[in-house]
Amino acid sequence: MTNFNNINADRYSIAPMVDVTDSTFRQIARLFTKRAMLYTEMIAADAIVHEKYHLLAYDATELPVTLQLGGNDEKKLAYACKKAQQLGYSAINLNAGCPSDKVACGQFGAILMHDPKKIASLYQAMQESVDIPVSVKTRIGVDDKDSFDFTYELVNTIYNSGCRHIVLHARKAWLNGLSPKENRTIPPLDYERVYTLKNMFKDLNITINGGILTIDEIKTHLTQVDGVMQGRAIIDNIYILASIDKEIFLDKSEIKSREQLLYEAYELYQNKFKGKVAIHHFARHLFSLFAMQKNSKIFRRYLSNHMHELGADGSVLLDAYKAMINT
């Protein structure tokens, strides 16, 4: 795990999410939380081998950041790890649990769970190539391999290869029959199984993931495991992140208001992104800033309707707010 100001940054992390957790998102997330571990989208090791280094670009303000890699070739993954270390990433994570079609065709991601020894071998090649920590993100089962014994064998095999940090999505993946989206909701969650494994592997850092919604839920999980990872809850309500430093990392800092964060996001866009990244790529990450607040739909609708207009810039964020409060 990556140490950051005495408490592991991995105590709370934002999940790797393709088309969501890009550098723009991560810089916005840093306005809300200085302490959380941020993950990149999954980047294919193949792309790095083919020198698509722009995919690894990040801004120093995002740190600590874990680069998530996908792949099934030891040498290619090791090469990508070395590149990540040179670039200053905090840690690296191997995707062995994401069931997207794109990923399955390449025989990596969740399909790797059918061969735990292969995951272990990939992990070893990756960790041997760098000094920064390498972790594995996987699930508790795949297809008909969903017994406790299978999860134990999976975790034990990865553990025996030397890995000391596993992110466990507490549901299995059904590779034949369920879409990637269905695979995030239909197979039932089994947090108890993750807790049991933590009790059996005391010196293995286990981050739990899947369906975790509130700060209270995060705190409950942290009584059983080392870290919590949240994905969709942040897309649906990004303001959860504003409480993380105080509630989870026990910082003394005040929790920023939604209005303050909106203004900081506006300034971030105007000072750093304007002219480089279109406002709609930036503002989409803030759709949920006022989730569950009065007239939040108006804020969202105003952004959707106006952020694509020619010449639109960060002001659209402030205008959307005005439209919401003046309704």
Any contact of residue 133 with ligand FMN (CB under 6 A)?
Answer: no
Which of 1/298 has CB closer to ligand FMN?
1
Distance, first Cα to last Cα, the chain:
47
Which of 165/169 has CB closer to ligand FMN?
169
Could you tell me which stretch among 209-217, 249-257, 289-297, 316-324 binds ligand FMN (CB under 6 A)? 209-217
Convert 290-324 to b/e letters by CB count within 10 Å (16 or more is b). Answer: bbeeeebebbbebbeebbeeeebbbebbebbbebb
- Tell me, residue by residue from 210 to 249, as one string, x for binding to ligand FMN by CB under 6 A and - for no binding: xxx-----------------xxxx----------------
User: Residue 169 Cβ, how far from ligand FMN at the closest point, in Å?
Assistant: 4
Scan residues 52-91 and list those touching ligand FMN (CB under 6 A).
Answer: 68
Q: Is 98 a known active-site residue?
A: yes
Give the C-alpha distances (Å, rounded to integers) separating 310 from 18, 268, 305, 318, 323. 27, 20, 12, 17, 20
Any contact of residue 137 with ligand FMN (CB under 6 A)?
Answer: yes
Any contact of residue 184 with ligand FMN (CB under 6 A)?
Answer: yes
Site residue total, ligand FMN (CB under 6 A):
23
Partners of 69 in the β-ladder? 43, 94
Any contact of residue 41 with ligand FMN (CB under 6 A)?
Answer: yes
- Tell me, residue by residue from 285 to 324, as one string, x for binding to ligand FMN by CB under 6 A and - for no binding: ----------------------------------------
Which of 18/278 has CB closer to ligand FMN?
18
Which of 41/226 has CB closer to ligand FMN?
41
Which of 97/314 has CB closer to ligand FMN?
97
Could you tell me which stretch among 2-10, 16-24, 195-203, 290-298 binds ligand FMN (CB under 6 A)? 16-24
Which of 232/246 has CB closer to ligand FMN?
232
Do strands 3-4 and 7-8 pair parallel, antiparallel, or not at all (unpaired)?
Answer: antiparallel
User: Residue 322 Cβ, how far from ligand FMN at the closest point, in Å?
Assistant: 30
Structure tokens belonging to residue 217: 């839920």
| Cis before 64 (ω within 30) | yes
Among 15, 45, 154, 241, binds ligand FMN (CB under 6 A): 15
Any contact of residue 284 with ligand FMN (CB under 6 A)?
Answer: no
Any contact of residue 151 with ligand FMN (CB under 6 A)?
Answer: no
Evaluate whether 301 touches 316 at the Cβ level (below 8 Å).
no
Please compute Rg for the chain using Cα positions: 20
Cβ neighbours for 50, distance < 8 A, ≥ 6 positions apart: none
Cβ neighbours for 172, distance < 8 A, ≥ 6 positions apart: 139, 140, 141, 142, 143, 145, 146, 187
Any contact of residue 97 with ligand FMN (CB under 6 A)?
Answer: yes
- The catalytic residues are 98
Q: Which chain residues interact with ligand FMN by CB under 6 A?
A: 15-20, 41-42, 68, 95, 97-98, 137, 169, 184, 209-212, 230-233
